[in-house]
């Protein structure tokens, strides 16, 4: 039966074969394991080159061993790392030997990080930042995740919670000394001014949540237009490979195709959609329906118009999109007129660098001057929104007695604390830690 008292182990590096693999161990039996497998416990935080043997004395491999004495370790427990050759046979032999000890078992997903949380080494925002840092594919994702995993966002939320706590303390003091003639409510008047200022800060933070999600999850760019406008060719140019089928037959693309690209450090999710037109084809009609749904969810729409037949310059509903640009395609052919924001030709490459620069500049303008200490997940947004509701209830109703307003402040503080995990958040833990690989 699995318990939190078990000593856990797992392969923490990539799948073998590899030049070097890292096997991590954490728990109360770590010292015993090291004594049995390498003969001694190395000095904490110093690498020791040792032969790793089975308990029967047979050599498994030679490598570097690191020991971290709790609580000065990632998990807060005694921990060790075996850095050895990354062959499947070597790793299998070591994992098999570790499993043979009493009270040891293979770690579950995210269990090392969960133990770090349980032992006060990380809070929930730092844990989520660590998960995002491991998964980061672009420079901005790395920077955003590093801000969270290093505690920058947690410090901000903790400072807000502390300000609410101080305000509650002052209100409680006024309640306790309500009979004193020299305390006619002046203390709480200062409190409400301070809380109004805090409320404005949280509102500004919440207004940036969409930007945090864009960095983490990707900026959605949808390529739309009539059939044969050059959408699939543009998709392939951005991706630098043949993602979409390109033919002269109208209506080739029937579904929404998606590819992730890196545009100057930002993750861009690029979507190629079915050509927008009236049709009786059931399959194509479904593709057009999905294209319209993609348009509604886009951060930017590149609406392509064939300059040789510039029909339907703007489809209905494009005005609902926050950002869109009209792109004239097939610039190398004889144009028939029309008004365009950009002109391109995927055949000759004309205008394509300018289009990519336009997309990059648009994203960078959105993030200009923006701190990366911003929410990135829906649960952050939900808790901040609930905190604001509770603050508003306390600030905007001076006719209520102080006990009720103080209770609203307690709820506001609790909603903030749920983001970092300073209160009981057992229902969140399974979801958060399931994002990790086994060895983290």
Last residue of a domain, one of 94, 121, 148: 121
Asked if residue 360 belongs to a domain, the reply is yes
**How would you list the strands of the sheet with 18-26, edge to edge?**
48-53, 59-68, 79-86, 18-26, 7-11, 104-106
Quick one: 116 and 231 in the same domain? no
Quick one: 11 and 144 in the same domain? no
Asked if residue 426 belongs to a domain, the reply is no
Quick one: 57 and 136 in the same domain? no
Quick one: 151 and 232 in the same domain? no
> CB 134: neighbour CB atoms within 10 A?
14
Closest CA to 96 of 104, 85, 87: 104
Quick one: 331 and 408 in the same domain? no
Quick one: 286 and 402 in the same domain? no
Asked if residue 429 belongs to a domain, the reply is no
Quick one: 242 and 298 in the same domain? yes
The CA distance from 37 to 39, in Å, is 6
Domain total of the chain: 3
Asked if residue 181 belongs to a domain, the reply is yes
> What digits encode the pLDDT tens for the residues 69-113?
999 999 999 999 999 999 999 999 999 999 999 999 999 988 999
> What digits encode the pLDDT tens for the residues 326-382?
898 888 877 766 778 899 998 899 999 999 999 999 998 888 877 888 888 899 999
Host H or E run for residue 163: helix 152-176
Looking up residue 279, the CATH number of its domain turns out to be 3.40.50.300
Q: Pairing relation of β-strands 342-343 and 324-329?
A: parallel
Sequential DSSP letters for 340-387: -SEE--TTT-TTHHHHHHHHHHHHHHHHTT--S-S--SHHHHHHHHHH
Asked if residue 16 belongs to a domain, the reply is yes
Asked if residue 239 belongs to a domain, the reply is yes
258, 305 contact by CB (below 8 A): no
Asked if residue 434 belongs to a domain, the reply is no
Quick one: 192 and 245 in the same domain? no
pLDDT at 178: 55
Looking up residue 137, the CATH number of its domain turns out to be 1.20.120.430
> CB 261: neighbour CB atoms within 10 A?
18
Quick one: 102 and 182 in the same domain? no
Quick one: 204 and 225 in the same domain? no
Last residue of a domain, one of 347, 367, 387: 367
Quick one: 16 and 103 in the same domain? yes
Residue with tokens 């947690």: 154
Looking up residue 50, the CATH number of its domain turns out to be 3.30.1360.120
Last residue of a domain, one of 121, 136, 158: 121
Residues of the chain below pLDDT 50: 182-184, 247-249, 424-425, 427-428, 431-432
Residue 82: domain span: 7-121
Quick one: 50 and 98 in the same domain? yes
Asked if residue 134 belongs to a domain, the reply is yes
């Amino acid at each position: 039966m699995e318990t939190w008292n078990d000593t856990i182990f797992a392969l923490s590096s990539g799948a073998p074969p590899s030049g070097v693999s890292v096997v991590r161990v954490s728990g109360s039996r770590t010292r015993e394991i090291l004594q049995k497998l390498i003969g001694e416990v190395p000095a904490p935080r110093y690498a020791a080159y040792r032969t790793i043997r089975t308990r029967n004395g047979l050599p498994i491999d030679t490598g570097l061993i690191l020991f971290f004495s709790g609580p000065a370790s990632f998990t807060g427990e005694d921990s060790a790392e075996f850095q050895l050759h990354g062959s499947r046979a070597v790793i299998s032999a070591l994992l098999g030997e570790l499993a043979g000890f009493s009270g040891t078992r293979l770690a579950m997903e995210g269990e090392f990080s969960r133990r770090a949380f349980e032992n006060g080494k990380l809070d929930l925002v730092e844990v989520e930042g660590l998960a995002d840092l491991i998964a980061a594919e672009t420079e901005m994702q790395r920077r955003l995740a590093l801000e969270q995993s290093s505690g920058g966002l947690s410090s901000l939320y903790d400072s807000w919670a502390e300000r609410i706590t101080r305000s509650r303390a002052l209100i409680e003091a006024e309640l306790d000394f309500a009979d004193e003639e020299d305390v006619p409510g002046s203390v709480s008047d200062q409190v409400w001014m301070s809380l109004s200022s805090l409320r404005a800060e949280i509102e500004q933070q919440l207004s940036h949540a969409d930007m945090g999600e864009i960095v983490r999850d990707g900026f959605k760019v949808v390529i739309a237009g009539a059939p044969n406008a050059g959408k699939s060719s543009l998709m392939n140019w951005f991706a630098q490979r043949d993602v979409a089928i390109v033919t002269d037959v109208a209506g080739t693309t029937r579904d929404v195709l998606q590819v992730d690209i890196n545009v100057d450090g930002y993750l861009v999710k690029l979507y190629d959609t079915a050509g927008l037109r009236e049709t009786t084809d059931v399959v194509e009609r479904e593709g057009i329906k999905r294209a319209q749904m993609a348009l509604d969810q886009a951060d930017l729409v590149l609406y392509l118009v064939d300059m040789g037949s510039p029909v339907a310059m703007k489809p209905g509903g494009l005005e609902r999109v926050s950002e869109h640009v009209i792109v004239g395609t097939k610039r190398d052919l004889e144009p028939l007129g029309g008004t365009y924001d950009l002109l391109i030709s995927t055949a000759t490459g004309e205008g394509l660098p300018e289009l990519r620069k336009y997309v990059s500049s648009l994203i960078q303008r959105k993030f200009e001057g923006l701190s990366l200490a911003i929410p990135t997940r829906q649960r952050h947004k939900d808790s901040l929104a609930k905190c604001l509701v509770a603050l508003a209830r306390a600030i905007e109703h001076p006719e209520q007695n102080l006990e009720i307003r103080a209770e609203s402040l307690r709820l506001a503080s609790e909603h903030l604390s749920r983001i970092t995990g300073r209160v009981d958040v057992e229902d969140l833990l399974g979801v958060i830690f399931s994002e990790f690989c086994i060895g983290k």
